[in-house]
Amino acid sequence: MSDFHAGFACFVGRPNAGKSTLTNALVGTKVAITSSKPQTTRHTVRGIVHRPDAQLVLVDTPGLHKPRTLLGERLNDLVRTTWSEVDVVALCVPADEPVGRGDRFIADEIAGLKKKNVLAIVTKTDLVDKKRLAEQLLAVSQLGEFAEIVPVSAKAGDQVDLLADLLAKYLPESPPLYPDGELTDEPEMVMVAELIREAALEGVRDELPHSLAVVVEEMEPREGRDDLLDVHATVFVERPSQKAIVLGAGGERIKHVGSTSRRQIEALLGTRVFLDLRVKVAKDWQRDPRQLRRLGF
Whole-Å CA distances, 272 to 221, 229, 261: 10, 6, 12
92 by Cβ neighbours in 10 Å (0-12 / 13-18 / 19+) ranks as buried
- Rounded Cα gap, residues 59 and 83, in angstroms: 10
Count of CB atoms situated within 10 Å of the CB of 157: 11
Count of CB atoms situated within 10 Å of the CB of 208: 19
Considering only CA atoms, which of 204, 210, 206, 199 is closest in space to residue 233? 199
- Rounded Cα gap, residues 276 and 212, in angstroms: 17
**98 labeled binding residue:** no
**60 labeled binding residue:** yes
**123 labeled binding residue:** yes
**64 labeled binding residue:** yes
**260 labeled binding residue:** no
Kindly tell me the number of DSSP H helices and DSSP E strands found in the chain: 9, 9
**29 labeled binding residue:** no
Please give the order of strands across the beta sheet that includes 5-12: 45-50, 54-60, 5-12, 88-94, 117-123, 148-151
**20 labeled binding residue:** yes
**117 labeled binding residue:** no
**280 labeled binding residue:** no
**23 labeled binding residue:** no
**15 labeled binding residue:** yes
Binding residue numbers for GTP: 13-20, 60-64, 123-126
Binding residue numbers: 13-20, 60-64, 123-126
